[in-house]
C-alpha cells in the first residue's frame, strides 16, 4: 500500500533502548516526555531518554526495593522515586549539591500513596487513597515542606502537565471527579463534576475506570475525555467519546460527542489538537477535530474527519522502543473531498503551509480544477486568517509604541504560524505558475486572479502591486486590451507607481498604455516627478512643462533637465521656447535672466548663442 494511504505515522526518532530484555521496569513520565528503563541487581541502574539524544541521562542508585514510580522534576533537577506505599525518596541532581537520598512519608495516617506529580522544579504532589498533599522540596536542606493538603477518598487520578491540573476519581462508582489546579506554590480546588455513565440492565452497576478517561489540552482548553461504551441492548450500541470542558473557574460542561460508529477496545491520543482514537480489533485509527462541525448533525456531535486507517507500518528490530505519534498532512488532501472543510482542517495544524498551497495549486489545475465559488471560499478562509494576524500585529505595535500601562500584563508579540498564507506565498507557489498553464482557459485564469484580489479587498488587505502586474501581463498576453482598459478605468486595479511604470513598458504592444500610465500617475498626485520623467523620455518637453506648471511646480524644476531634453529632440525652435521660458523664470525670481553657475547650463547658453546669436539673449531689465 502506498505511503499516501496513511495519515498517521510513528516519528522518525523513537526513544530506543538496547538490550531491552535486561530491563526490569519501564516508566513513562508524560510531563517531561521521558522514558525510564530500570535494571535491578546489586545496584539499580537507570537510563533516562527523551525525544532528543541530548536529554539522555544514566546513573545508578542503591537497590532499596522494587521501584514503583520514578520521575525527574522539570529540568532534571531533582529525582523522585517511590518504592513503598508510604514514602517517596529524593535525590539531588543540581550541580554542586550532595548526591544523597532523602525521604518523605505521607502525612495522612493509614494512607497509601497512589502516585506523585511534579508541578514545578521544586514542587510535588502526593496522591494517596485518602487525599492529596502538596509539598515544596528544599534541596539544600534535603527536606520537604508541606504547603497544603486535602482529605478526600480517591480511587485513581489523572494529571495534565500542560495545565498542572490533577483529576481525582471519588465516590463508590468513581464517576464524580474532583480537579485541583497548581501554580507557583498554590493549590486551588476547582468545581467537581459527574461523568454520566451509560445505562446498564439492573441489577448490574457500572464503575468508571481510569482506562476510559483521558485528560488533554485541546486548542488551549482543558478537556476530560470519557470513552463511553453503551450496552448492546440499547438502540445505539456503538461507543463514543464524550468531552467535558474544564474551565479554571466555573462549572465543567459536556461540550462534544465523538461518534466512533463501532464497538470494542479503544485507546486515545491527542496529536496536534486532534483526538486520535485507536480501535484494537481492526487495527485502525480515526481522527476528530472538535472545531469541525457536521452541518447535518446536532451541535457538537462529530463524525471522524477521515476514514479509518492503520498507522504507517514500521520495521522494528529486536530492541526496546517508545514512540511518538504524528499526523501526516499530505494524504489528507485526497481523503477529504470538501475543499472548504479541508482548508478549515489544515489551517489548525502545525506544519500546514506547504500542504495548503499544494491544495490551492491542485484546486486550480488539471482534472481537479475547482469551480469559482469553491476557489472563492478557499481564498476567503485563507485571507481571514491573514487579516487576523495583521490586526494582532498592528495592535501589538501600537501597544509597544504607547508603552506599558499601569496594571496591565506584558503583551506578547503574536506568533506567525504556518496558517498565515500571505500574498507573497500565493504569488510564488500558486498564482505565478498558474497563469502560465496552457491547458487552462484564460478566462478562468483571470477570474481566479480577480477572485483573489476581491477576497483581499473584502477583508481590507492592501493588494500588492505584483498581483496587479500579474493580471495586466495576463490580459496583455491574451490581447484582452478592452478588459484591461475597463479594469483601469473603473479602478478595479488600484493605482500605484510600479503599475504605471509597467503600463509604460507596454506601450509598444498597447499604445494606449502610455496615456493610461500618465492618467494613473496624475491620480496619484505624489508622482509628479515620475510624470515629468515619463514625458521627457518621450521627448514631450512642452507637455512636461505644461504639466509641471499646472501643478504649480515650475519654480523648482531643473532648467538643465529640460534644456537637455529639448536638445535631444534636435528641434531648434523647441529649444528656443524652453530656453526663453527659463530666462523669464530667472528674471521673475532673481531679477536677472542669466543662469546661476549652480544650474550648470553654460553649454546650453553657448548653443543658444551659436544658433540664435548673442543679441537674442534676454536683456536684464533696467529701472
Q: How confident is the model at residue 12 (pLDDT cuts 50, 70, 90)?
A: low
Q: Which residues contact 129 (CB under 8 A, 6 or more apart)?
A: 111, 112, 114, 153, 154, 155
Share of the chain above pLDDT 90, in %: 58
Q: How confident is the model at residue 182 (pLDDT cuts 50, 70, 90)?
A: very high
What per-residue confidence (pLDDT) applies to 534?
78
What per-residue confidence (pLDDT) applies to 185?
93
Q: Does the pLDDT value for residue 183 go beyond 70?
A: yes
515 torsion bin: left (phi>0), alpha (psi -120 to 50), beta (else): alpha
Q: Does the pLDDT value for residue 354 go beyond 80?
A: yes
Give the mean model confidence (pLDDT) for residues 193-204: 83
Q: How confident is the model at residue 3 (pLDDT cuts 50, 70, 90)?
A: low
What per-residue confidence (pLDDT) applies to 299?
64
Minimum mean pLDDT range among 65-74, 189-198, 518-527: 518-527
Q: Per-residue pLDDT tens for 142-167?
A: 999 999 999 999 999 999 999 999 99
Handedness of CA 373, 378, 383, 388 (dihedral sign): positive
Q: Does the pLDDT value for residue 379 go beyond 90?
A: yes
Residue 131's DSSP bridge partners are 128, 151
Residue 243 φ/ψ, nearest 5 degrees: -105, 130
CA distance linking residue 581 with residue 396, whole number of Å: 54
CA distance linking residue 30 with residue 119, whole number of Å: 12
CA distance linking residue 276 with residue 364, whole number of Å: 32
What per-residue confidence (pLDDT) applies to 426?
97
Handedness of CA 127, 130, 135, 139 (dihedral sign): negative
CA distance linking residue 225 with residue 216, whole number of Å: 8
Q: How confident is the model at residue 15 (pLDDT cuts 50, 70, 90)?
A: low
The pTM for the full model equals 0.80
Q: Does the pLDDT value for residue 297 go beyond 70?
A: no
Minimum mean pLDDT range among 191-200, 291-300, 525-534: 291-300
Helix/strand/coil percentages in the chain, nearest 5: 35, 25, 40
What is the four-CA torsion angle of 465, 467, 470, 472, rounded to 10 degrees?
Answer: -60
Q: Per-residue pLDDT tens for 85-131?
A: 999 999 999 988 888 899 999 999 899 999 999 999 999 999 999 99
DSSP state of 428: I
Minimum mean pLDDT range among 3-17, 278-292, 512-526: 3-17
Q: Does the pLDDT value for residue 276 go beyond 70?
A: yes
Give the mean model confidence (pLDDT) for residues 515-535: 79
Query: How many angstroms separate the Cα of 352 from the Cα of each of 18, 254, 380?
Result: 35, 30, 17
CA 62 to chain centre: 48
Residue 395 φ/ψ, nearest 5 degrees: -60, -40
What per-residue confidence (pLDDT) applies to 47?
87
CA distance linking residue 314 with residue 107, whole number of Å: 48
CB 538 within 8 A of CB 518: no
Half-sphere exposure for 550 (CA within 13 Å, toward CB): 11
Q: Which residues contact 39 (CB under 8 A, 6 or more apart)?
A: 22, 23, 24, 45, 46, 47
What is 376-399 written as a DSSP string? HHHHHHHHHHHHHHHHHHHHHHHH
Amino acid at each position: 500500500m502506498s505511503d499516501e494511504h496513511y495519515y498517521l505515522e510513528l516519528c522518525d526518532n523513537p526513544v530506543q533502548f538496547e538490550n531491552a530484555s535486561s530491563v526490569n521496569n519501564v516508566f513513562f513520565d508524560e510531563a517531561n516526555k521521558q522514558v525510564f528503563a530500570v535494571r535491578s541487581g546489586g545496584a539499580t541502574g537507570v537510563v533516562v531518554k527523551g525525544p532528543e539524544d541530548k536529554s539522555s541521562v544514566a546513573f545508578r542508585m542503591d537497590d532499596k526495593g522494587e521501584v514503583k514510580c520514578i520521575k525527574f522534576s522539570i529540568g532534571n533537577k531533582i529525582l523522585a522515586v517511590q518504592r513503598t506505599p508510604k514514602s517517596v525518596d529524593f535525590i539531588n541532581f543540581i550541580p554542586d549539591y550532595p548526591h544523597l537520598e532523602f525521604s518523605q512519608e505521607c502525612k495522612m495516617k493509614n494512607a497509601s500513596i497512589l502516585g506523585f506529580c511534579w508541578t514545578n522544579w521544586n514542587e510535588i504532589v502526593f496522591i494517596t487513597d485518602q487525599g492529596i498533599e502538596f509539598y515544596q522540596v528544599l534541596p539544600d536542606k534535603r527536606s520537604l515542606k508541606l504547603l497544603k493538603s486535602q482529605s478526600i477518598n480517591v480511587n485513581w487520578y489523572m494529571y495534565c502537565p500542560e495545565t498542572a491540573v490533577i483529576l481525582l476519581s471519588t465516590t463508590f462508582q468513581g464517576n464524580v471527579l474532583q480537579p485541583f489546579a497548581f501554580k507557583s506554590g498554590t493549590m486551588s480546588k476547582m468545581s467537581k463534576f459527574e461523568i454520566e455513565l451509560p445505562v446498564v440492565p439492573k441489577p448490574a452497576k457500572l464503575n468508571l475506570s481510569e482506562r476510559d478517561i483521558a485528560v488533554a489540552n485541546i486548542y488551549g482548553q482543558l478537556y476530560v475525555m470519557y470513552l463511553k461504551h453503551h450496552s448492546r441492548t440499547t438502540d445505539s450500541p456503538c461507543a463514543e467519546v464524550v468531552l467535558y470542558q474544564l474551565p479554571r473557574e466555573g462549572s465543567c460542561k459536556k461540550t462534544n460527542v465523538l461518534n466512533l460508529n463501532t464497538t470494542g477496545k479503544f485507546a486515545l491520543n491527542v496529536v496536534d489538537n486532534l483526538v486520535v482514537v485507536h480501535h484494537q480489533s481492526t487495527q485502525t485509527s480515526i481522527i476528530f477535530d472538535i472545531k469541525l462541525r457536521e452541518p447535518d448533525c446536532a451541535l457538537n456531535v462529530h463524525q471522524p474527519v477521515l476514514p479509518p486507517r492503520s498507522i504507517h507500518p514500521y520495521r522494528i528490530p529486536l530492541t526496546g522502543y517508545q514512540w511518538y505519534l504524528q499526523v501526516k498532512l499530505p494524504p489528507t488532501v485526497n481523503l477529504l473531498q470538501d475543499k472548504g472543510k479541508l482548508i478549515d482542517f489544515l489551517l489548525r495544524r502545525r506544519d500546514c503551509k506547504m500542504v495548503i498551497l499544494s491544495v490551492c495549486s491542485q484546486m486550480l489545475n488539471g482534472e481537479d480544477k475547482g469551480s469559482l465559488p469553491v476557489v472563492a471560499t478557499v481564498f476567503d478562509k485563507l485571507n481571514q486568517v491573514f487579516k487576523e494576524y495583521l490586526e494582532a500585529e498592528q495592535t501589538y505595535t501600537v501597544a509597544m509604541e504607547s508603552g506599558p500601562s499601569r496594571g496591565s500584563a506584558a503583551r506578547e508579540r503574536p506568533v506567525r504560524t504556518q496558517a498565515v498564507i500571505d500574498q507573497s506565498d500565493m504569488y510564488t507557489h500558486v498564482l505565478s505558475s498558474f497563469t502560465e498553464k496552457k491547458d487552462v482557459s484564460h478566462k478562468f485564469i483571470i477570474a481566479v486572479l480577480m477572485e483573489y484580489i476581491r477576497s483581499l479587498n473584502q477583508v481590507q488587505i492592501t493588494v500588492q502591486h505584483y498581483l496587479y502586474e500579474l493580471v495586466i501581463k495576463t490580459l496583455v498576453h491574451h490581447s484582452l486590451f478592452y478588459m484591461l482598459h475597463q479594469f483601469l478605468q473603473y479602478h478595479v486595479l488600484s493605482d500605484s507607481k510600479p503599475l504605471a511604470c509597467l503600463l509604460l513598458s507596454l506601450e509598444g504592444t498597447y499604445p494606449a498604455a502610455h496615456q493610461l500610465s500618465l492618467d494613473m500617475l496624475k491620480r496619484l498626485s505624489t508622482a509628479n516627478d515620475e510624470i515629468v520623467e515619463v514625458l521627457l523620455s518621450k521627448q514631450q518637453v512642452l507637455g512636461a512643462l505644461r504639466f509641471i506648471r499646472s501643478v504649480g511646480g515650475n519654480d523648482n524644476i531643473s532648467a538643465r533637465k529640460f534644456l537637455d531634453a529639448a536638445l535631444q529632440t534636435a528641434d531648434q525652435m523647441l529649444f528656443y521656447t524652453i530656453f526663453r521660458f527659463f530666462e523669464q523664470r530667472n528674471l521673475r525670481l532673481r531679477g536677472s535672466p542669466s543662469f546661476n553657475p549652480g544650474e550648470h547650463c553654460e553649454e546650453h547658453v553657448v548653443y543658444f548663442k551659436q544658433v540664435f546669436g548673442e543679441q537674442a539673449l534676454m536683456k536684464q531689465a533696467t529701472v
